[in-house]
Amino acid sequence: MDFELNDIQKSVQQTFKDFVDNRVMQQAAAIDENAEFPMQLFKEVGELGFFGMRYPEEAGGTNMDILSYCLAVIELSRGSMSLAAAVTMQSLMATYFLYRFGDEEVRGHFDAAMRGEEIGGICMTEPNAGSDLFAIQTNALVKEDHFLLSGQKTWVTSAPVANFFTVLAKTDNHDKLSIFFVPTTLEGVVVGKKIDKLGACGSVTSEVSFDNVKVPKNYLLGEIGGGTKCLMEILAEIRIMTAALSIGVATAAFEAALQYAKEREQFGKPIGKFQAIKMKFADMEVQLQTAKHYVFYAAYLSDNDLPRHKESMTAKLYASECANNICDQASRVLASYGYANEYPLQRYLRDARFTLIGGGTSEILKTNIGRELGL
Ligand SMILES: Cc1cc2nc3c(=O)[nH]c(=O)nc-3n(C[C@H](O)[C@H](O)[C@H](O)COP(=O)(O)OP(=O)(O)OC[C@H]3O[C@@H](n4cnc5c(N)ncnc54)[C@H](O)[C@@H]3O)c2cc1C
């Protein structure tokens, strides 16, 4: 096995590291505090080619492997989970189906989204359907020359600033799921109030309702009832990407605490010299390195078209749980300063919570991993 990153991967990592150190770090606290979508940084991430990393060159992308994409995501979430959540949503879930199934008109929106000129959101979750996606009630009535879409969605990332949505709905109240492209300019699309939340506050999130929206026939993405199969195409990648988000925020918390442990003195010596603090760092190091390497392994499987269903769930489950533990332990190293808004530890602790939910909750992943093991 080769554990060395290749030259392209190293260059991607360095590019996003420099961008985060020079552009994101000093703005991250304000992005969170003001709960405002980081529009300027979003555009700059677009200029770095991030949105096209996972798409082929003929679609305007750079055809990078998932490992390179993960390296970029880790750097971005090391700087700001708000920014990282917004840009990963744009690069994968909001745009993938436009690329995969869109006609010329829809692909025009995909192209604009790749350049960061349009913003997309994905509408799956509903007030009464979260983990149980088959329970969604949003429905598209099939009319002669259009669909009539009605329903209520919630927790839609980037909805307040979105130009279009990728919407999961039933058709004619049948059980099977379908996917639609829905520009926010269509009559009857209403973006509700922003959801005030615990973390990733600059990644703005809203309810969205569809009130008898006339959706043109060419905005159906894929086949009627083909939605579940389509979602399965990107499920593993969504989970690996969420695992990478976890590694980034955990790295930020670890590095901040390590620096603090070397500088803060109590009882006449740096607190890092106390055995209790050293033990914490050893535990954090083990979790961070094993989680990171398992995420890279899942990315490697995916890049080589090897089975990765169970491994992507394992990576996401383990990385998100480790990230939450590391943020907790790192915050304890700073004690009162870990509790102060002036220091970033409280932000990391809040932001890491998101990774336990997006891409499947830990309970759902454990259930599915158990099923994969034949239980
Ligand atoms: C910051 C953020 C951004 C989001 N962005 C988007 C977005 O852009 N688009 C979108 O569509 N959605 C988005 N979501 C929603 C997210 O996908 C859902 O929150 C997630 O699917 C879980 O659904 P739920 O919150 O309704 O929890 P529920 O499904 O109601 O779960 C509640 C609890 O029950 C447990 N549970 C549920 N079913 C089972 C079971 N069968 N076995 C064991 N335990 C179970 C869960 O693990 C959890 O602990 C976002 C969420 C957050 C927090």
- pLDDT, tens digit (0-9, with 9 covering 90-100), for 167-204: 999 999 898 999 999 999 999 999 999 999 999 999 99
358 lines ligand 1 (CB under 6 A): yes
Give the sign of the dihedral formed by CA 192, CA 196, CA 199, CA 202.
Answer: positive
Atom of ligand 1 at shortest distance to CA of 132? 29
**Is position 1 within any domain?**
no
User: Ligand 1 center to residue 265 CA distance, Å?
Assistant: 43
Looking at the structure, tell me whether residues 208 and 83 fall in a common domain: no
**Is position 2 within any domain?**
no
Looking at the structure, tell me whether residues 234 and 359 fall in a common domain: yes
Give the sign of the dihedral formed by CA 212, CA 213, CA 214, CA 217.
Answer: negative
Looking at the structure, tell me whether residues 197 and 313 fall in a common domain: no
Q: Check residue 334 and give its pLDDT.
A: 98
Q: Check residue 340 and give its pLDDT.
A: 97
Q: Which domain holds residue 216?
A: 120-227
**Is position 367 within any domain?**
yes
Looking at the structure, tell me whether residues 83 and 129 fall in a common domain: no
Last residue of a domain, one of 176, 195, 227: 227
Last residue of a domain, one of 87, 114, 141: 114
Q: Check residue 125 and give its pLDDT.
A: 98
Contact 53, 68 (CB under 8 A): yes
Looking at the structure, tell me whether residues 251 and 209 fall in a common domain: no
User: Ligand 1 center to residue 129 CA distance, Å?
Assistant: 8
48 lines ligand 1 (CB under 6 A): no
Segment 273-286 shows an average pLDDT of 98
Structure tokens at 42: 């979003």
Contact 148, 117 (CB under 8 A): no
Phi, then psi, of 162 in degrees rounded to 5: -80, 145
123 lines ligand 1 (CB under 6 A): yes
Atom of ligand 1 at shortest distance to CA of 121? 8
The set of residues, in sequence order, having a beta carbon less than 8 Å from that of 266 and lying 6+ positions away, is: none
133 lines ligand 1 (CB under 6 A): no
Assign residue 333 the CATH number of its domain.
1.20.140.10
Residue 164 pairs in a beta bridge with: 120, 183
357 lines ligand 1 (CB under 6 A): yes
Looking at the structure, tell me whether residues 232 and 360 fall in a common domain: yes
Looking at the structure, tell me whether residues 368 and 237 fall in a common domain: yes
Contact 52, 112 (CB under 8 A): no
For the cut 80, the answer to whether the pLDDT of residue 1 exceeds it is no
How many whole angstroms separate alpha carbon 142 and alpha carbon 373? 41
Atom of ligand 1 at shortest distance to CA of 363? 47
Atom of ligand 1 at shortest distance to CA of 133? 21
Q: Check residue 173 and give its pLDDT.
A: 86
157 lines ligand 1 (CB under 6 A): yes
Q: Check residue 279 and give its pLDDT.
A: 98
Assign residue 63 the CATH number of its domain.
1.10.540.10
> pLDDT tens across 216-238, in order?
999 999 999 999 999 999 999 99
Segment 290-307 shows an average pLDDT of 97
User: Ligand 1 center to residue 303 CA distance, Å?
Assistant: 28
Q: Nearest CA to 296 among 362, 247, 356, 355? A: 247
Buried b (16+ CB within 10 A) or exposed e, 34-62: ebebbeebbebbbebbbbbbbbeeebbbb
156 lines ligand 1 (CB under 6 A): yes
**Is position 90 within any domain?**
yes
Best mutation site among 77, 83, 125 for ligand 1 pocket (most ligand atoms within 8 Å of CB): 125
Segment 126-143 shows an average pLDDT of 97
User: What's the one-letter identity of residue 14?
Assistant: Q
Q: What is the pTM of this model?
A: 0.98
Assign residue 198 the CATH number of its domain.
2.40.110.10
Mean predicted lDDT score pLDDT of the chain: 97
Contact 207, 152 (CB under 8 A): yes
Last residue of a domain, one of 183, 204, 227: 227
Looking at the structure, tell me whether residues 351 and 305 fall in a common domain: yes
**Is position 86 within any domain?**
yes
How many whole angstroms separate alpha carbon 129 and alpha carbon 200? 22
Q: Check residue 60 and give its pLDDT.
A: 93
Phi, then psi, of 141 in degrees rounded to 5: -80, 135
Atom of ligand 1 at shortest distance to CA of 124? 11
**Is position 11 within any domain?**
yes
Looking at the structure, tell me whether residues 340 and 247 fall in a common domain: yes
Looking at the structure, tell me whether residues 180 and 52 fall in a common domain: no
368 lines ligand 1 (CB under 6 A): no
Domain count, the chain: 3
User: Which range among 173-177, 282-286, 371-375 shows the weakest confidence by mean pLDDT?
Assistant: 173-177
How many whole angstroms separate alpha carbon 3 and alpha carbon 84? 25
User: Ligand 1 center to residue 331 CA distance, Å?
Assistant: 26
Q: In whole angstroms, how far apart are CA 241 and each of 198, 308, 321?
A: 21, 13, 15
Contact 262, 272 (CB under 8 A): yes
Looking at the structure, tell me whether residues 166 and 92 fall in a common domain: no
**Is position 305 within any domain?**
yes
* Minimal-distance CA residue to ligand 1 atom 4: 155
82 lines ligand 1 (CB under 6 A): no
How many whole angstroms separate alpha carbon 329 and alpha carbon 325? 6
Looking at the structure, tell me whether residues 289 and 249 fall in a common domain: yes
**Is position 45 within any domain?**
yes
How many whole angstroms separate alpha carbon 88 and alpha carbon 73? 8
130 lines ligand 1 (CB under 6 A): yes
Best mutation site among 90, 97, 131, 152 for ligand 1 pocket (most ligand atoms within 8 Å of CB): 131
Structure tokens at 214: 């006339």
Q: Check residue 339 and give its pLDDT.
A: 98
